[in-house]
Amino acid sequence: MNLHEYQARELFRQAGIRMPDGEVATKPSEVEAIATRLGGGVVIKAQVHTGGRGKAGGVKLATDPREAAEHAETILGMVIKDLVVSKVLVVPAVEISSEAYVGMILDRESQRPVLMVSASGGVDIEEVAASSPEKIRRLAIDPRFGLLPHQAMELGFALYDDLRHVRAAAKIMTQLYDVFMDNGATLTEINPLVTSSEGEVLALDAKVTLDDNILERRPDLALLRDETAEATSEVEARHAGLTFIKLDGNVGCVVNGAGLAMATMDLVKYYGGEPANFLDIGGSSNPEKVVTALRIITRDPSVKAILFNIFGGITRTDDVANGIVTALQQFKVEVPIVIRLTGTNEEEAIRILSEAGMTALNGMDEAVEQVVARVKEAA
Ligand code: GDP
Ligand code: MN
């Protein structure tokens, strides 16, 4: 689960990370009032679950409350990477001397939290990572010992020459590690970490992604979910108990079980197709889930054909067949559907489908080859 910057800042603050105070607003008039209260220049920042807000015009400096309100007018309602801005953060502007990057991720390769730092921080860190990866220092942390003081200091020296800056940065890295470990995060990031004209080291941006598995144990964190800021398809899928992840391809996939879903995606690729999504309808069978799954997938204009791959164990294939038939009665599906099902109650499933004028295949390879062919015909 992604957090908004203002929510991430709250976790950072609890850990003691230094940053300017800020307030959230939803109206230009509120922004004006906050700017008046803060006095001096302020920065107005779009609160959306994506980076690159600066480049998209979602981060703007204002010298007085009037200008702050004008910027808020522009930013509120703005669409950044398909997400509508409905909140802004207002923070006192800092005069920046240098911008660095400090981030932690959960690294699957080393199976450890990895701290990454770079003296070339700011809005172009992705470009730095791609074109000059040597400018990013990485440290895999052993969670038994945590980030040790000498390690943090060494990384601090990779960012700064001035010992006061090094010490301040080392402290912030330790605090960032604490935020990561204490909240079940998969990412905690400060970009930019700045030195101000007054010689302070401050976090000017805050990004946190939480592992969804922490939310059951931490209701306080679960409360931070803002469904209005998430992709509609993912919200709908979650409510229906589906695991859905949107991808870039054009073969819509409806599968039961995460393992089979992965295998199906592999096979789609093997036969020259590209999956449009990962979708696991889960182990239990419920026609409603199938209806929701089809509704979500058909709404995606890049989907050119849909593949059902159902291995009936606990899942009853007749329930899935009923779901497909119900969905087709409720809304129009413009793209071809290829169905492969086998297992529990398959005779019944085949009967239900054939009554509705559909056929089901038995073999997985056969079904995937067919769906890829249908996509190519559509192209
Ligand atoms: P992002 O583009 O979504 O990562 O948003 P950021 O919060 O990182 O803001 C983008 C850029 O705006 C930063 O890299 C800074 O260069 C600039 N910026 C943000 N806050 C301030 C500030 O208080 N003062 C100044 N001068 N620039 C700022
Ligand atoms: Mn940033």
Q: Catalytic residue among 32, 189, 346, 369, which?
A: 189
Q: Which residues contact 221 (CB under 8 A, 6 or more apart)?
A: 183, 184, 210, 214, 215
- Average pLDDT value for residue range 252-273: 96
Domain spans of the chain? 21-92, 96-222, 231-378
Give distance in angstroms: CA of 59 to centre of ligand 1: 7
Give distance in angstroms: CA of 229 to centre of ligand 2: 18
Tell me what percent of the residues of the chain surpass a pLDDT of 90.
90
Fold observed for domain 21-92: Dna Ligase; domain 1 (3.30.1490)
Question: CA 46, 52, 58: angle at the middle one, nearest 5?
Answer: 30
Ligand 1 atom closest to Cα of residue 191: 8
Can you tell me the distance from the alpha carbon of 350 to that of 353, in angstroms, rounded to the nearest whole number? Answer: 5
- Average pLDDT value for residue range 346-366: 96
Can you tell me the distance from the alpha carbon of 317 to that of 90, in angstroms, rounded to the nearest whole number? Answer: 53
Ligand 1 atom closest to Cα of residue 92: 23
Does residue 149 have a cis peptide bond before it, meaning omega lies within 30 degrees of 0?
Answer: no
Residue pLDDT, tens place only, 39-70: 999 999 999 998 899 999 999 999 999 999 99
Task: Find the ligand nearest to 122 CA.
Answer: 1
Q: Which of 59, 89, 90 gets mutated to test ligand 1 (max ligand atoms within 8 A of its CB)?
A: 59
Task: Pick 231-378's CATH classification: 3.50.50.60, 2.40.50.140, 3.40.50.261, 3.40.50.300.
Answer: 3.40.50.261
What's the pLDDT at 272?
A: 97
Give distance in angstroms: CA of 91 to centre of ligand 2: 14
Q: Catalytic residue among 5, 32, 99, 101, which?
A: 101
Reply yes or no on whether 177 is catalytic.
no
Residue pLDDT, tens place only, 63-122: 999 999 999 999 999 999 888 999 999 999 999 999 999 999 999 999 999 999 999 998
Spell out the CATH class of 96-222: alpha beta
Give distance in angstroms: CA of 170 to centre of ligand 1: 22
Reply yes or no on whether 30 is catalytic.
no
Alpha helices in the chain (DSSP H): 5-15, 28-38, 65-75, 125-131, 149-159, 163-182, 219-222, 232-239, 258-270, 287-298, 317-330, 346-355, 364-378
Give distance in angstroms: CA of 149 to centre of ligand 1: 29
What's the pLDDT at 65?
A: 97
Confirm or reject: Cβ of 191 under 6 Å from ligand 1. Answer: yes
Ligand 1 atom closest to Cα of residue 93: 23
Residue pLDDT, tens place only, 188-209: 999 999 999 999 999 999 999 9
Confirm or reject: Cβ of 204 under 6 Å from ligand 1. Answer: yes
- pTM comes to 0.85
Ligand 1 atom closest to Cα of residue 50: 3
